[in-house]
Every structure is written in C-alpha cells, then in structure tokens.
Amino acid sequence: MAAQIAIPAGGTFLDTIKKSFTDVPVNAEKDNAIATTDFLEAAESLTTLFDVLGSVAFTPVKSDMLGNVKKIRDRQLAAPGESETLQELVINELKTKKHTATEGLVWLVRGLEFTCIALSQNIANVSEELSASFRNAYGSTLKPHHSFMVKPIFSAAMSACPYRKDFYVKLGDDQDKVTAELRVWLAALEKQVAILKGFLDRKEAKW
C-alpha cells in the first residue's frame, strides 16, 4: 500500500519534501558542479511523488531510483573528501578502476529525466492523461536501456497511472499554485539533468 502524503492547509506537495531541486547548489564558476548531498536528498524527495501516484505498480520505479541513490551515497561516505560534488565523485571513483556509483548516477539521471519529461509534458498538455505522458517519457528515456525482462514491469506502472483529475488534487487544493510550483521545481530538475547528461557524455566520465 502506497504511503499517504499529508499536504498542509493551503500548501502543495512540494511543501512536504525534504529537499527541492530549486535548493540544490550548482556552481557555475566550477563547470556547473552539483552538490552531492543536496542532489541526493532532492532525488529521494522526488521519489515520494510515486507514493502520490498511489499504485504499487510504481514500487519498482521508486526502488530502482532509491537503489541508485544508495550506490552514489555509499561512494560519498567512503570518500567524502573526493565527493563533495557529483562530478568530483565520478572522476575520483573512476580513478580507482571502479564505477558502481558512476553507473548508479547514469541510471538515476535517466530515471529523473523520465519523471521530469512526463510531468512537464502533462502540465503542458492539459487534456493528456498521465499514462500517455509517462509512456511517452519512458520511450525516450529509460526504455531504450531496459532489458526485455524489465520493460513489462515499467510498462505496468505506466498503465497504472491515476486520472489527471484525481492526481493533481492530491498535490494541493489550489491548482494554480500547484502548477506554478511544479513548473519551477521541474525547471530546476531539468537544468540539473541536462548538466549531468552533458558531463556523463564526456570521456572523463566513461569507464
């Protein structure tokens, strides 16, 4: 059974999360270095959205993302001085000839991009149901990298999406406020995903 999220009176879902992507430090002077601790907390916070979606079909999606967060955090805890930013963490891990956390970041970024594209598309297309938005996002992000064993599990989650009219009211009573806050949150996430995708495409981030 999915956990229930208690929205404060007059508030939105984003008031319930521990860390927003809007609060993750990105250092433009250091090649857009992204703070590891803050980013991982924001990613963990995002996964509570799958609880709002309300179906156990999303449990594997959430578990997959949290598993990748753990891989990155384990490396951070093992070498904190070399892991203050995600980019430092990757480069320093690869120097050890290991890539567990780096691979975890690759998959976490894919999962975050999937969620970001789905919600952004759904907000932009007010007549589109969540299942269509998530299915389209899955096809362009995670699906090309998933095995034939995993694809049906994620496809089941897409089909289990609630109707949009039922979903958005769970995010807050004031729908204009919900939409406005989601747009800001998703814009911050989209920017960080783009930074990390660009970094992970570099030779120095390959194993």
Nearest to 12 by CA among 126, 170, 142, 192: 170
Q: Looking at residue 167, what is its pLDDT?
A: 94
Q: Looking at residue 2, what is its pLDDT?
A: 47
Q: Looking at residue 1, what is its pLDDT?
A: 40
Q: Which class would CATH give 25-205?
A: mainly alpha
DSSP structural state of residue 85: B
**pLDDT truncated to tens, each residue of the chain (207 aa)?**
445 678 988 899 999 999 999 999 999 999 999 999 999 999 999 999 999 988 787 888 899 999 999 999 999 999 999 999 999 999 999 999 999 999 999 999 999 999 999 999 999 999 999 999 999 999 999 999 999 998 998 888 888 899 999 999 999 999 999 999 999 999 999 999 999 999 999 999 999
Distance CA 24, CA 185 (A): 11
Nearest to 179 by CA among 23, 171, 16: 171
User: Who's near 73: CB < 8 A, 6+ residues apart?
Assistant: 40
Place of tokens 């920017």: 191
Q: Looking at residue 56, what is its pLDDT?
A: 83
118 neighbors 137 (Cβ within 8 angstroms): yes
Task: Tell me the domain boundaries of the chain.
Answer: 25-205
Q: Looking at residue 159, what is its pLDDT?
A: 87
Ordered alpha helix ranges (H), the chain:
36-47, 49-53, 59-78, 86-95, 100-124, 130-140, 151-159, 164-168, 175-200
Place of tokens 């916070």: 45
Counting other chains too, the contacts that 44-50 makes at CB distance below 8 Å and 24 or more residues apart are 44/18, 44/19, 44/69, 45/17, 45/18, 45/19, 45/20, 46/17, 46/21, 46/112, 46/115, 46/189, 48/3, 48/5, 48/16, 48/17, 49/13, 49/115, 50/2
Q: Which two tokens stand for residue 78?
A: 């093992």
Place of tokens 């814009």: 187
